[in-house]
Amino acid sequence: GVDPQSRNSILEGIKGLNERGATIVYTSHYMEEVEQICSRVVIMDRGKTLASGTKEELKAMINHGETINVELYALKPEDLAHIRQMPHVARAEYHDNHLTIRYDDGQHNLLNLLDYLKSRDLSFERVYSQQPTLNDVFLEITGRQLRD
């Protein structure tokens, strides 16, 4: 491994070569790096190509949209049940004062959720939204189980 400064320098050098027209073949298990520097991606598993395309094309292949995380301290079971029935909610879980909602699609998901929380006088500490990442794509396509 390399220190963070060297890593950043290497990645910036690779991006610079690409911006000047060079084609770069970059292999990595670090999907954050791939997301940062690659315009086209091939996902391989055990020597077989499973998917290829732009980052956006690959993200569109998986069956979920954004994930919204809310830190709140008093979510009743009936509120969780209602949230699970909201449009485009694929899954909603509440553990240790954290509500995690994965959407299958849709627009205005965050706005709809915040409107509901406000209507129920449910206060929260923090809310953040995440779009699918290449790591999500890799795990969805190759399977989530640990490997030998």
Q: What is the pLDDT of residues 51-84, one digit of tens each?
A: 999 999 998 888 778 899 999 988 999 999 999 9
My answer on whether 27 and 56 are in the same domain is yes
At 43-55, the pLDDT tens digits run 998 899 999 999 9
Q: What is the mean pLDDT of the chain?
A: 90
Question: For the residues of 72-103, what is the DSSP string, one character each?
Answer: ES---HHHHHHHHTSTTEEEEEEETTEEEEEE
Q: Is residue 76 part of a domain?
A: yes
Q: Which domain holds residue 45?
A: 4-61+135-142
Contact 31, 138 (CB under 8 A): yes
Query: pTM value?
Result: 0.68
My answer on whether 71 and 127 are in the same domain is yes
DSSP assigned state of 133:
-
Q: Is the pLDDT of residue 92 over 70?
A: yes
Number of structural domains found in the chain: 2
